[in-house]
Structure formats: C-alpha cells, structure tokens
Amino acid sequence: DGQGRTVDFKNAVIVLTSNIGSVHMTGTGTEEETRKLVMEDLRRAFRPEFLNRLDEIILFHRLSREDVRRIVDVQMDRFGRRLAKKDLFVEVSDRAKDFLANVGYDPIYGARPLKRAIQQHLENPLAQEFLAGKYEPGDVVVVDAGGGALTFTRRTAEEQKAKDEAARRSAN
C-alpha cells in the first residue's frame, strides 16, 4: 500500500480494460468471429507471458445511444445530489440530457467521452457561474438546451417555493 506495507492479493479481483479490438465490435459479425479478431489484436499488442496470466477475457458490446442516454440520467442524479449537499439544486430538462447524450456519444470509446462532455458543457460552465456569485444557497439551476449549447436559468428559493405550492394546489 502507500504506507510500505505488503498487501495480500490472493482474494482480489483485478479488472483491466482496454479498447484494443474495439474496431471489431460493430455487431456485424458473429460473437465467435468478433472474439477471434479481438484476440488477434490482443496477441499483437501484448506478450504471451502477460496474456497467459489473465484468467478470463470478456468482450463488452458497444454502448448504444439509448445506453448513453440512461447513463446521462444516472449522472444527472449524482450531480444533483452533490449540489444538494451545498444547498443548491438542479433541474435538468430532457432536452439538456439529450444534448449531453448526443455530444458525449462515441460508439468506439464508450462512456469516457460522455464524462468529458458533462464536465465541459455542464459542470465547468456552472462552476464558473457559481464562482461569479450568480447563485445563492437554496436556488434551483434550471438546465436546458438551445442553440447548440446548454443554458442555465436561476430560480430563486422563493420562486421554487411558489412553484411547488402551485403544483400542490393543482394536484388537489
């Protein structure tokens, strides 16, 4: 470990990931044909001594646009919980989620470009606005998409309270 102590790995599972062979994961060939092509790429990239130490090689299918959209939902839930701990709230429209899914979709590289897209288009610009003092504790940031970018609108705590109250009245 980081303290110089020896760590016992006999009960550990170590997962290694790679994009080697991802060009063959198009879904056009059979599973067996794809596995054969990927294994050829692995043999070219790694020495046999290394490959022989791996207990199992698992091929994962590419993420679809629908998969990426579901990942956006999960990431937005996490983002909202992080902000709520700081007494700030976020409401992300379906248009904004679709925007993030579209700019973050890459069939070859999976979810990594999505993480960068969320940082570039949502987290970083919103952080700049927070630092500039645009939002106060209790505010709701309404995130939407338009004109090829995300938009951020402030809804004060008072406005949110009035909106919630109106929704309660209309539900009764």
List beta partners, residue 138: none
Distance CA 64, CA 83 (A): 29
Q: What domains can be seen in the chain, in order of their start residue?
A: 1-61 (no CATH), 65-171 (1.10.8.60)
Q: What confidence category does residue 65 fall into, taking pLDDT thresholds of 50, 70 and 90?
A: very high
Q: Assess contact for 83 and 90: CB atoms under 8 A.
A: yes
The pTM (predicted TM-score) of the whole model is 0.74
Mean pLDDT of 100-116: 90
Pick the residue with more confidence: 82 or 158? 82
Mean pLDDT of 100-105: 96
Residue 111 CB partners (closer than 8 Å, separation 6+): 63, 68, 71, 104
State both tokens at 86: 């700081």
Total residue count of the chain as it appears in this document: 172
**DSSP E strands: which ranges in 15-138?**
89-92
DSSP per residue, 59-97: --PPPPHHHHHHHHHHHHHHHHHHHHTTT-EEEE-HHHH
